[in-house]
Each structure stands twice: as structure tokens, then as C-alpha cells.
Amino acid sequence: MRLAHVTDLHFGAEDPAVVAGLRDDLAARDVDRVLVSGDLTMRARTGQFRAATGLLRSIGRPWTAVPGNHDLPLDRPARAFEPLGAYRRLVDPDPEPLVRDGGLLLLGLSTARPYLWKGGLVDAAQVARIGSALAGPADLKVLMLHHPVFRPAQRPDDALVHGAGPALRAAAAAKVDVILCGHDHVAAQAGLGGMVALMSGTACSRRVRAGESQSYTVLDADGDTLRLTVRHWDDGTFRTRDETAWRRTSDGWHT
């Protein structure tokens, strides 16, 4: 099984050269599914959503997304009364998709909140859904959300999503294998309670952090082995910079 994790596309602040390179590189990886952990847009405008979904459709592979905080509108009435209206119309009517595809079992959560715009939230109902939706058997169980559940080494002082603790405990109890997140615009990974926590950098926007470039991650799952390959934008193309092998044992995943 080969998956690609992309996040923080931020159409409206995209770099056209990186967009074209991302499209070509994802197509060349021949992935089974593209997983998009939020911030498809910069300002939740119709044209930005259409540009983001146009890119994803052009890859020619199945894709699944969840919204990020930038996918909520700036307009106060819309943000208060229909915060995911444009996302539902233009991306997916269900902002919390559950996907069963071969050996993959994927649950996406919408952590963006109008009243916690930057920090996000996993609420009690979502924690309960982690336990119920991901309880069954699967070759690879993936939980995807926008806001971070771990602090990357590049940004050790950044806040975690509100409700990170209960969400992680529920995920561990459900034997989740991989948690995908974004928001911080850095490429990082960590072991959390036997699970692999993965964050990718911004996929194609100009909003890169100091010392980072645009990036996305390829996940190759084969039985009890998981290989993570980070592809960074470098001198006009995406190139492999980091590769890590994880092994699943009786007590979870370890490098």
C-alpha cells in the first residue's frame, strides 16, 4: 500500500512552479491514495477551493481530505453560522470522512473551530468516534486531522490541538497505526504510544518556515513494515531528503 500525505496547500498563496512540480511528482509516485490534512486554501474562497481540488483531481488517484483552519471563511456571519459551508459544497459534503479501501481504514476529523481558529479542537464526540470507527481490523489504521498532536523538533513551543490527550489515548486503544497532521509547515515524525505521528510541511505554498522547504511524505506500508519518504522541493523539483523505516511489534511501531 502506498499513500501520499500532503497538507497546507494554501491556494491563494501558492507557488505555481511548486504546484506543477507537486502534480508531476505525485503522479510519478503511483500512490494508491492522496491524504490531505487541511488548509487547502488561504482564505476559503471559491476559486481557491476549485484550484485545490483541481490539482488533486489532476493527479488521477483517489484522494481524501479534511478541513483546516484556513478553510473557514473570514466573513464573520459565515464563520459563525456556516463555517464549513464552502468546504462542504466544493470539496466534500462530509468533512469527517471514513474510508475503507482494501487494507486501509482511515478516519478524518475536522478540528477547525471558529472560536479556536488557530488551536483547533478534538471534542468528546470526536474522541468517541475514534474508538468506534477505528475499532475493526485493518492492515493499516490511519487517523487524520489538521492540527498537531505532537511538537516537532523545529517548533518545540507550538501548541497542540485542544483535546490532544484524550484523542491520543482513544487512538492508541483502537490500535491506530499512523496519525497524520499538518498546520506547523514542517516535516517531522515521532513515536507516540506505539503509533507513528507524521507531519508534513506545506505542500505548495510560499508560506515556508525558516530552514524548511515545501514537502510531502510518501508512506509505503507492507505488513509490519512502514517506510516514510519525505520529498522536499529542491532546485525546481521534488527530491527525497529523508527516509525512515518503522517496524510493528507486539507493542506498536518503532524505528
Q: How many CB atoms lie within 10 A of CB 240?
A: 11
Contact 204, 197 (CB under 8 A): no
219-251 pLDDT, tens per residue?
999 999 999 999 999 999 999 999 999 999 999
Per-residue CA distances from 118 to 92, 179, 220 (Å) = 22, 20, 31
Range of the domain at 30: 2-254
- Beta-strand relationship, 140-144 and 178-181: parallel
Provide the edge-to-edge strand list for the sheet that holds 178-181.
98-101, 104-108, 140-144, 178-181, 195-199, 188-192
pLDDT confidence of residue 118: 84
Contacts of residues 21-28 at CB distance under 8 Å and 24 or more positions apart, as own/partner, are: 21/233, 21/236, 21/237, 21/238, 22/55, 22/203, 22/204, 22/214, 22/216, 22/238, 23/55, 23/58, 23/59, 25/231, 25/237, 25/238, 26/59, 26/61, 26/216, 27/59, 27/60, 27/61
Cα gap 237→231, rounded to integer Å: 9
Domain total for the chain?
1
Output the domain CATH number for residue 247: 3.60.21.10
pLDDT confidence of residue 115: 86
Low-confidence ranges of the chain (pLDDT < 70): 76, 79-80
pLDDT confidence of residue 24: 97
pLDDT confidence of residue 47: 98
pLDDT confidence of residue 238: 98
pLDDT confidence of residue 100: 96
pLDDT confidence of residue 122: 98
pLDDT confidence of residue 199: 97
